[in-house]
Chains A and B, each alone.
Chain A
Amino acid sequence: MATIESGTEIKIDVHGHHEHEHHHEESFISKYIFSQDHKMIARQFLITGVIWAFIGVLFSVMFRLQLAWPDESFPILETLLGKWAAGGKLAPNFYYALVTMHGTIMVFFVLTAGLSGTFSNLLIPLQIGARDMASPFLNMLSYWFFFLAGMIMLVSLFISTGPADGGWTAYPPLNALPQASSGSAFGMTLWLLSMAMFIVSSLLGGLNYITTILNMRTEGMTMMRLPLTIWAFFFTAVLGVLSFPVLLSGAILLLFDRHLGTSFYLSDIYIGGQPLTNAAGELLQGGSPILFQHLFWFLGHPEVYIVILPAMGMVSHVLATNSRKPIFGYSAMVMSILAITVLAFLVWAHHMFVSGLNPFIGSIFVLFTLLIAVPSAIKVFNWIGTIWRGNINFTPDTLFAIGFVSLFISGGLTGIYLGNSALDIPLHDTYFVVAHFHIVMGLAAGFGLFVGVYHWFPKLFNGRQMNNTMGYIHFWITFVGSYLIFWPMHYLGMTGVPRRYFQFSNFETFNVYGDLNVFISIAAIVVFFAQFVFLINFIYSALYGTKMKTLNPYLSNSLEWTTPIEPGHGNWPGAIPPVYRGPYEYGKNGTDFVPQHLPDNAIWPKDEKETKTELA
């Protein structure tokens, strides 16, 4: 009886609900604001993410001004920041606030929500052949919790004591004691609340992504026929679901330390010779600041894979499609993502080599860290194998995908240095680390975001396409500029220039690199302005871009290109197409491509033009 009941229920989900959506015009609020359509939620994530990206990158330009020209004054900074840049010179406290906000915004709001949130939402139902997510309502909540997190963070920028300024990692005791710095006062409380909202958002999203991928695939869509994008989103969600709750525990304990007088992370702190007490006048003792680092990095390290895996998946998909070749080693690609996911949970302490970690434990973490090089190298090899002798369409999305591979190699190689504790100890607090993680995680994932936007723009904005010329200008300035910003930082780091310093001009040793800092800052400013080319292209194309004339402009195999140019809620007007093959059958038996929904006995027209008209 139970099976009949749930069977009927699913029938309602699949057909009744969908038809219902088509017959009634939705109101503005239910269509654009509290939408439960995964495509609209993807748009919301993307637009919010892009806005945050501009704020986050603007912050980095502000502190690059300080690093390059510490003695100059910039009246524009006073206009923008008010008392934090009195006389056009950045206040040292606010420099740290900018660095902290840049890190938080870029890692969580842009590269987690903006990248994974956007494309998981857009592509999971479209590529597996589902009407929507398993729970569209929770999916909507996921966006609104993200929005709330962003609003709390935005408010924290405007309070009188300023936003959190103790680093995006929020280490105690600095961030546990409101008296430690101005940003550690109310700003840090808001930071923690914002992160709690963000964690809820990520968990709701992640639960939905996993459930949808495992339970709602169309007929014939076996796991090994999934596009690699979906595999990447799947493991990203697994990482998030397993690691974000642990960060939440860490953050809750930090909130208790800050506001309720506990001392989970605090121990025997003396200020001016006086021991620090809680509100009740008791000594704060017995806590361990290292405990927070363990809890933080148990999320923090998987977090970098949460950021990079979706980019990897999209790059794999776009490289195969635009090289007109099957992906090189599909199952090796899947297995290497799995291996990265497992190893992601076994390496967190490599962020703590300089925190006083037992050297023996450190050596175990070195071993696991270096093991990650194996699946990473497999992926790089397979990407190169995929484009090798391919018939490559050098569209902006392909260029960004190739750029991603380049950045991933450059940044990954320095990871092998830093994974060794003996080398990490002298390099850890220098610009070498800044260069490493920006190239391998920040830029590479950012390029992944561009790959996704350029490639799936027609699916995001009603069949409109982005302008390619502007895409090329955007790509070349961003690609060359990125290397110009971060490559010199390796040299700064190798000579021992420490990160997190407000100003170097008082240090004879580091003073000599002033010109290099000027060079880096100029490159950063140029790259920042190049992003406006993207922004203009994005806004213009979303409103007035040329509409695609056929259903499948890239002659791609995956299911999202079988939906109408402007798909409604429910994605396919008729039945969901069943799937007969894997997603990367390009150049097989003399045919350019064989879409997944094409049965084996179908008569496949040889001529591409014929194909286009038939599909349209």
Chain B
Amino acid sequence: MSTVTLKRTQRIHPKKFALWLGIGTVIMMFAGLTSAFIVRRAAGNWVEFELPPLFYFSTLVIGLSSIALFFAEKAYKANRHLQYRNLLGLTLVGGITFIILQYAAWMQLASYGILLRGNPSGSFVYVISGLHAAHVLGGVVLLGFFFVRAIPKPDPVQELLSEINPERSLGIEMLSVYWHFVGILWLYLLLFFTYYK
């Protein structure tokens, strides 16, 4: 039995693998949307406009939150639990700020006269960034869940057991993969919108 166990450790954990596949499906969805954007743009009757500057701020915020989560994961692995909790909280705040900034950016865009209804060039920006924000929101909910779990338990034995729980270590690794992914996805979308106005 021990040989079986050893052999399996060399493979990627199935749940983590499933997460990567799930990321693949999200990539396919946004690839579908952005290629629809390109196809539609090539057909003409396309209104060009400047992106709202708040999009650049939100990019900065989600980038910083990714860095915070990177160090949070390191802190967890090094058993620095207080530091882990603080950095996780910072990531969570970053995620919430990102969504608020995206909303503010849509308001900014609307103030330019580019509305959800109207020429598809604007509709695409709203729908694609909106779907991205929905994926960020999913990440924020998970971050909140992990943050609540990181609050120390009154019973020290229970606390120790939960700290060394391999399931949680796996969860943090997966959360961090997902969070970096939604950050990179946003960077791609921003570059895409900037390039194909």
A contact set with B: CB distance below 8 Å: 2-11, 14-15, 134-135, 138, 203, 206-208, 210-212, 214-216, 219, 241-246, 248-250, 252-253, 256, 260-264, 278, 280, 282, 285-288, 291, 294-295, 298, 575
A141 to chain B, nearest CB (A): 12
Query: Is B118 close to A, CB under 8 A?
Result: yes
User: Within 8 Å of chain A (Cβ to Cβ): is B33?
Assistant: yes
Our pick among B15, B117, B119 for the contact of A278 (Cβ within 8 Å) is B117
Instruction: A5 to B120: give the CA distance in the assembly, Å.
Output: 50
Closest residue of A by beta carbon distance from B169? A5
Apart from A212-B14, A243-B28, A249-B29, what 16 extra A-B contacts exist at CB < 8 Å?
A2-B77, A3-B10, A7-B8, A206-B21, A210-B18, A211-B21, A245-B29, A245-B32, A260-B116, A260-B117, A262-B116, A263-B118, A263-B123, A264-B123, A282-B117, A291-B39
Task: State which of A2, A10, A241 has its C-beta within 8 Å of the C-beta of B169.
Answer: A2
Contacts of B170 in A (CB 8 A): 5-6, 9
Closest to A247 in B: B32
Interface pair B22/A11, CB less than 8 Å apart: no
Q: How far is the CA of A253 from the CA of B117 in the complex (A)?
A: 12
Known pairs A135-B15, A286-B45; A11 contacts B5 (CB<8 A): yes
Contact (Cβ within 8 A) B33 A134:
no
Q: What is the predominant secondary structure among interface residues of chain A facing chain B?
A: helix
A208 touches B18 (CB 8 A): yes
Q: Which chain A residue has the least Cβ–Cβ distance from B24?
A: A241
A305, B28: Cα distance in complex, Å:
18
| Distance in Å: Cβ of B142 to nearest Cβ of chain A | 15
Contact call A295/B18, Cβ cutoff below 8 A: no
CB <8 Å contact, B18 and A249: no
A9 CA / B174 CA spacing, docked (Å): 15
Scan B19-37; emit 1 where CB is below 8 A from any A CB, else 0: 0011011101111110010
Contacts of A285 in B (CB 8 A): 45, 119
**A244-B25, A294-B39 are contacts. A286–B120 as well, Cβ < 8 Å?**
yes
Closest 6 CB pairs of A and B: A261-B117, A246-B32, A245-B29, A134-B14, A249-B32, A5-B166
B169 to chain A minimum Cβ distance, whole angstroms, is: 6
**Number of contacting residues on B, CB 8 A?**
48
Contact yes or no, B117 A280, CB < 8 A: yes
> When the two chains form the complex, which single residue of A2, A286, A288 contacts B119, counting CB atoms closer than 8 Å?
A286
* Contact of B191 with A by CB under 8 A: no
Smallest CB separation, B176 vs chain A (Å): 13
Measured in the bound complex, the distance between the Cα atoms of B127 and A282 in whole Å is: 19
Quick check: A264 and B14 within 8 Å, CB to CB? no
A603 to chain B, nearest CB (A): 25
Give Cα A288–Cα B120 distance, bound, in whole angstroms. 10
Residue B161 interfacial (CB < 8 Å): no
**Given A256-B127, A264-B120, A245 contacting B14 (CB threshold 8 A):** no
B14 with A135: CB separation less than 8 A:
yes
Contact across chains for A282 and B21 when beta carbons are under 8 A apart: no
27 A/B residue pairs, CB under 8 Å, sorted by A: A2-B77, A2-B169, A7-B5, A9-B170, A10-B5, A10-B8, A134-B15, A134-B17, A135-B15, A203-B25, A208-B18, A210-B18, A211-B14, A211-B17, A241-B24, A242-B28, A243-B28, A249-B33, A252-B127, A253-B36, A260-B116, A261-B116, A261-B117, A263-B117, A286-B121, A288-B39, A575-B1
- Among B11, B13, B29, B169, the residue within 8 A (CB) of A248 is B29
Does B6 sit at the interface, judged by CB under 8 A?
yes
B166 → A minimal CB distance (Å)? 4
Given contacts A248-B29, A262-B123, A263-B117, contact A6 B9 (CB under 8 A): yes
A213 CB → nearest B CB, Å: 10
Among A5, A210, A250, point to the contact of B32 (Cβ < 8 A).
Answer: A250
Separation of A245 and B132 alpha carbons in the complex (Å): 14
Instruction: Assess the A214–B15 pair: CB atoms within 8 A.
Output: no
| Min C-beta distance of B95 to chain A, whole Å | 23
A404 to B17, CA, bound (A): 35
Knowing A260-B117, A263-B120, A286-B45, say if A9 contacts B14 (CB, 8 Å). Answer: no
Q: Does the CB pair A215–B9 fall under 8 Å? A: no
Query: Which residues from A are CB-within-8-Å of B67?
Result: none
B94 to chain A, nearest CB (A): 26
Tell me the smallest distance from the CB of B78 to a CB of chain A, in Å: 11
Smallest Cβ-Cβ distance to A138: which chain B residue: B18
Residues of A within 8 A of B123 (CB): 256, 262-264
Q: Is the CB of A246 within 8 A of B120?
A: no
